[in-house]
């Protein structure tokens, strides 16, 4: 699964990765402990001019009668998303990329669960595969939200947890966001474990367990 992550790269750098035209406005806020139920940035398919938008992490489907009731899934299994009523339409029509610089997983130890920070070995930013939706779209009380797709853990992550977020390779960004690609089979190869040899993992302070804690000290190895 993916239940916590960080995103601190500058906007210009992320735009260059996605080959987006430079945007105006201030830089992005560095965040080292993004938690479910908070807003985070996505880049979604179907936009005339793709850009970073703030969406709630925890999917609120458009058909929900009460957005405060029921589950708000923060993750969706890539292997079964095309079968699930909550996700299958979104996989066809509402895919997104979620910028990140790290994610955290917890390893079971004799002294309790210990957090690990997982990053690219190059320390470059990357993008999760996500799905988005908008509850009450077009109304003042609309809730735009997203979920992150997960897959089997690669050899590195499996030493910590049995699942990991889907990390999209650079050559697949445009295809994943292409609104003309409506067949889930056409993007199924994107939803596979990222190569372990291109990643690194190390233990970090349990301070990351508290979603109220923030700052670059959370990603320092211990």
Query: Among 75, 69, 77, 25, which Cα is nearest to 51's?
Result: 25
Closest CA to 107 of 194, 208, 6: 208
Decide if 152 contacts 80 (C-beta within 8 A). no
Residue 150 · residue 128 · CB < 8 Å: no
105 carries an active-site annotation: yes
Catalytic residue among 2, 96, 102, 117: 2
DSSP H or E run through 212:
none
Marked catalytic residue, from 96, 102, 105, 117: 105
Question: Which residue's structure tokens are 């995103």?
Answer: 7
Q: What is the secondary structure of 76-127 as a DSSP string?
A: EETTTTTT-TTTHHHHHH-EEEEEESEEEEEEEETTEEEEEEEEETT---EE
Only one residue has tokens 């790269």, namely 9
* Among 153, 190, 165, residue whose Cα is nearest residue 99: 165
Catalytic site residues? 2, 105
């Amino acid at each position: 699964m993916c239940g916590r992550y960080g995103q601190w790269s500058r906007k210009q750098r992320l735009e260059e990765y996605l080959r987006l035209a430079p945007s105006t406005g201030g830089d992005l806020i560095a965040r080292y402990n993004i938690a479910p139920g908070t807003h985070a940035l996505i880049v979604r398919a179907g936009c005339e001019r793709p850009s970073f938008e703030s969406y709630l992490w925890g999917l609120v489907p458009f058909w929900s009668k009460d957005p405060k009731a029921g589950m708000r899934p923060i993750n969706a299994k890539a292997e079964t998303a095309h079968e699930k009523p909550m996700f299958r339409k979104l996989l066809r029509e509402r895919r997104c990329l979620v910028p990140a610089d790290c994610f955290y997983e917890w390893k079971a130890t004799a002294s309790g669960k210990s957090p690990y920070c997982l990053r690219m070995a190059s320390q470059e930013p990357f993008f999760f595969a996500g799905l988005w939706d908008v509850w009450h779209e077009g109304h003042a009380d609309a809730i735009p939200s997203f979920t992150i797709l997960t897959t089997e853990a690669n050899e590195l992550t499996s030493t910590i947890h049995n699942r990991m977020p889907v990390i999209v390779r650079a050559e697949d960004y445009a295809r994943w966001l292409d609104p003309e690609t409506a067949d889930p089979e056409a993007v199924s190869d994107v939803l596979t474990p990222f190569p372990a040899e291109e990643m690194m993992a190390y233990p970090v302070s349990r301070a990351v367990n508290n979603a109220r804690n923030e700052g670059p000290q959370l990603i320092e190895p211990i």
